[in-house]
Amino acid sequence: MFNKPFRVKSNVALRSSERKRILNQVKQLYSTEENEEQLSGCFSSKEETNVVKIQTHKGKSVTIYTAQKDALFFELDNRLFPTLPAIWRFNIRLPALTTHLPVIPKLANGADLMLPGVVLPQLIEQWISFAKGAIVGINTEENITCLSLGITLMSSEDMLHNTDRHGKAVQIVHNFGDHLWAFGEKVQPPIVKPTMEENIMALEQNSKKPAGFETVEAAEQISILPENTQTTEDTTPTINECEEEEINSKLQKVEINSNIDGRDVHESQNAIYSETVDAKPEPELMDDLLEFCFLNGLKGRLKDKDLPILASTFFRNHVLPSCPADKTLEIKKTTFKKFGKYLKHVAEIKLVEVKELSKGNDSIVAVNRGHDLYRAFKLVTTKTHNDEGSTSNTESYCGVITQKTYEPPEVSVVYGVNHATKDFFALAGVKKGAVFASGDIRQLVTTYIKENDLGKGRMVTLDPILHNVVCGKGQEDTTEVPWDHLFRTLLSKMQLSHKITFKGTDPIIKKGEPPTVNIATQVRTGNKKVTLVKNLEAFYIDPQQFADIVRKQAQASTSLSTVPGSNPKSPMQQVLIQGNQVSCVESILTGDRYKLASKFLMGLENAPKKKGKGKR
């Protein structure tokens, strides 16, 4: 729905009464014990809160509620949906369907989730229950964070009973990387890998099995459940030797504590069959993990210049990234149950000073860096996805690139191996589709000629493979060609492409010549000149942001429109600026903000000529 640009009809401040109504509706729909405190402060009266009415490219009217510099919720067909940034920020729990990672870009291009793309769980008990028309999130096998949002077109039972695995399962309304996501701060999604505990929680929360399915045998359940699992009373299965060997082998793969209630590991294996299905760690151990993450974030990440900082922001950006990669911090499994209670605890022992700067939102205003607990803690460097994101200016996930501060990419010309040249490159073990710089191709050709003794001074003797690559019709009798002719002919027959590389991300290969930003001037009605700037997206420059900068610097009105003839699935936008502003556009794109080389700007000759000094 938001994969194409939408038109903003109005953007006004949210009235106090409307704010209360929306907040009550949000709490009623999406509040849980875990995120109750965070949701209470999502529409603070001391922060700018707006209601934005838009019209999508299909003519749908949508109301967006923005706060904290992000679009948090939107109203569509009298239903209130959370945006993906709101789901990530406030830990909103939605029924989730899992799909394969390559499906996510397809959804971002406007496709709906088909039933074959839904990954079914190994156990029926893990399948969530929902009705047709329910709001669900879409995650992947590698990341349980919600990456798409949609409305189910069939119930959970229909999905399970559909033996043909055919038809649409979810109508997608919002995706990571779409224009609604770009309406805010453009944050990357957190990476949360599925764990055994998530599977056990799914078993606990979905104890009711869909109708028509038989109970799974207890022995089968035991063979796949991790540690601290058990069956109910009077249903302890009889395990033969083969099953016992299989269970023991699986137990070796599961990390278990070396001491459980004073018993050693071998004794604890027998307890697996007698304890209830509960994978929760001991509260004391989770309290220690919380203290470690809090102190590590406080000492290693939080600077005095960042104060005051919201407690929710500190927890999301500093505490969670400080958790070791092999651990999972879960507040509800601590003795405090909520981060706000733990914050009051550390405030009571004078480690930090906490104040309620806005209604319902606690903030850390000072840190006692001379506290004994702070000084005794030894800083530990933890490497997580969030940690990499905090130190790296550029982040990329599912093809969506975001930057804290714009850095121009490195653009270079490369050549791809195609059908005409695949026979030659196959000798070097290179497959069709691989790309090389011209220098690498020259080195490959030179090595091949020397190994086969084909060089004769300035000429190269053509063997059958080189002859097929270099010679065309009417050149059957050619046996020798100059070195330069060989290189030029080989490059001309390869697929011309270009490589765009942002620092810290994988290179992006696209066919064709390197992109350029096109700057043109036109004369409109009334002999008024306008400047048109196209193809900013090729360098991942936000057209709206660029238009705002030009408007302020040139003191001229700007507007956005779709480039005629652009791909309907991913339409390009052009910036229209009042007057001849070619010189201003050049200074902005080549200046400190974007730092693009002049060779990537086309149309600079349209700049107004500087008037010469008159004769005295």
Annotate 430-456 with three-state secondary structure: CCCCCEECHHHHHHHHHHHHHHCCCEE
Of the CA atoms within 13 Å of residue 262, those in its CB half-sphere come to: 0
Question: Looking at residue 169, what is its pLDDT?
Answer: 92
Tell me how crowded residue 499 is: count the other CB atoms within 10 A of its CB.
17
Cβ distance 562 to 570 under 8 Å?
no
Count the residues in the chain: 616
Q: Which residue from 38, 42, 127 is spatially nearest to 80, judged by alpha carbons? A: 42
Q: How far apart are CA 340 and CA 323, in angstroms?
A: 18
Question: Looking at residue 249, what is its pLDDT?
Answer: 46
Q: Which residues pair with 482 in a beta bridge?
A: 459
Band (52; pLDDT cuts 50, 70, 90):
very high
Question: Does residue 534 register a pLDDT over 70?
Answer: yes
What is the pLDDT averaged over residues 557-576? 85
What is the pLDDT averaged over residues 58-71? 89
Question: Looking at residue 233, what is its pLDDT?
Answer: 40
Q: How far apart are CA 302 and CA 305, in angstroms?
A: 8
Instruction: To the nearest 10°, report the CA torsion of 460, 466, 467, 470.
Output: -90
Looking up tokens 């981060």 gives: 339
437 to 167, 445, 448, 491, 590: CA distances (angstroms): 45, 13, 17, 10, 26
Cβ distance 71 to 179 under 8 Å?
no
Band (269; pLDDT cuts 50, 70, 90):
very low
Q: How far apart are CA 148 and CA 610, in angstroms?
A: 52
> Tell me, which fold does domain 515-606 have in CATH?
Translation Initiation Factor Eif1 (3.30.780)
Local structure of residue 345 (DSSP, 8 states): H
Q: How far apart are CA 218 and CA 378, in angstroms?
A: 46
Which residues lie closer than 8 Å to 347 by C-beta, 6 or more apart? 353, 354
219 to 236, 246, 249, 412, 573: CA distances (angstroms): 9, 11, 15, 59, 60
Q: How far apart are CA 549 and CA 329, in angstroms?
A: 42
Does domain 411-510 fall into CATH 1.10.540.10?
Answer: no
Q: Which residue from 288, 285, 390, 290 is spatially nearest to 340, judged by alpha carbons? A: 290
399 to 239, 402, 506: CA distances (angstroms): 49, 10, 10
Cα R_g (the chain), whole angstroms: 31
Q: What is the pLDDT of residues 383-409, one digit of tens each?
A: 544 444 444 677 777 777 777 778 888
Please report, rounded to a whole number, the percentage of residues in the chain having pLDDT higher than 90: 29
Question: Looking at residue 362, what is its pLDDT?
Answer: 84
Q: Which residue from 508, 521, 513, 509 is spatially nearest to 583, judged by alpha carbons? A: 521
Q: How far apart are CA 318 and CA 372, in angstroms?
A: 21
**Helix and strand tally (H, E) in the chain?**
20, 27
Task: Supply φ then ψ for residue 292, to 5 degrees.
Answer: -60, -50
Cβ distance 352 to 366 under 8 Å?
yes
CATH 1.10.245.10 range(s) for the chain read: 411-510
Looking up tokens 């660029």 gives: 546
**Of 109-118, 269-278, 329-338, 557-566, the least confident:** 269-278
Question: Looking at residue 195, what is its pLDDT?
Answer: 57
Question: Looking at residue 37, what is its pLDDT?
Answer: 80
Band (123; pLDDT cuts 50, 70, 90):
low
Map 253-315 to HEC letters.
HCCCCCCECCECHHHHHHHCCCCCCCCCCCHHHHHHHHHHHHHHHHHHCCCHHHCCEEHHHHH
Question: Looking at residue 260, what is its pLDDT?
Answer: 37
> Tell me, which fold does domain 7-183 have in CATH?
Sulfate adenylyltransferase (3.10.400)
CATH 3.10.400.20 range(s) for the chain read: 7-183
The rounded mean pLDDT for the chain is 79
Tell me how crowded residue 100 is: count the other CB atoms within 10 A of its CB.
14
Question: Looking at residue 144, what is its pLDDT?
Answer: 87
CATH 3.30.780.10 range(s) for the chain read: 515-606
User: What are the DSSP E strand ranges found in 100-196?
Assistant: 113-114, 135-140, 148-152, 168-175
Of the CA atoms within 13 Å of residue 169, those in its CB half-sphere come to: 28
Q: How far apart are CA 303 and CA 15, in angstroms?
A: 36
